Amino acid sequence: MLLLRPAALVTLMRAAGRSGCVRDPPGGLHIPSLSSVRRCSAPPQPVIAAKQPFPVELKAGKKYAWCACGHSRSQPFCDGAHKKAAPGISPLRFTPEEDKTAWLCGCKRTRSPPYCDGTHKEEAVQSARLSAQP
């Protein structure tokens, strides 16, 4: 039988109170005493919308919403598809300071969102299947 120290139990219950759910501790250890608490599922992951970036003309001072989930039909910009397809992912809102041509990420794996950093060239992206757009 697994016994939790009071401090560990308090930590788990506080975490559940903030998010409404708990995750089992690392290592896959299941805590039966927490079986009545809603378990967290893995956060949604973005899908690859394209295996190359999108060239766009950005206007200084204009507000844009870059699709971070990959489900938008208006790539690379958000059309609200994340609300149903990926509720845990929100678009990245940005306002350029100058007019410019920019390459916005299509694979949704960039480390410098919303701009392409070349991640789409990696084997994991190039070998991935593109999801069918709804």
In a domain, 134, yes or no: no
Largest CA distance in the chain: 64
Give the mean pLDDT of the chain. Answer: 82
In a domain, 10, yes or no: yes
Amino acid at 40: C
- HSE of 48 in the Cβ direction (CA atoms, 13 Å)? 17
Q: What are the tens digits of pLDDT across the range 60-117?
A: 999 999 999 999 999 999 999 999 999 999 999 999 999 999 999 999 999 999 999 9
Q: pTM of the predicted model, to two decimals?
A: 0.69
Query: Quick one: tokens of 134?
Result: 């709804």
Q: Dihedral sign, CA of 8, 10, 14, 17? A: positive
Neighbours of 67 (CB within 10 A): 29
Total domain count, the chain: 2
Residue 113 sits in the same domain as residue 63: yes
Q: Dihedral sign, CA of 65, 66, 70, 75? A: positive
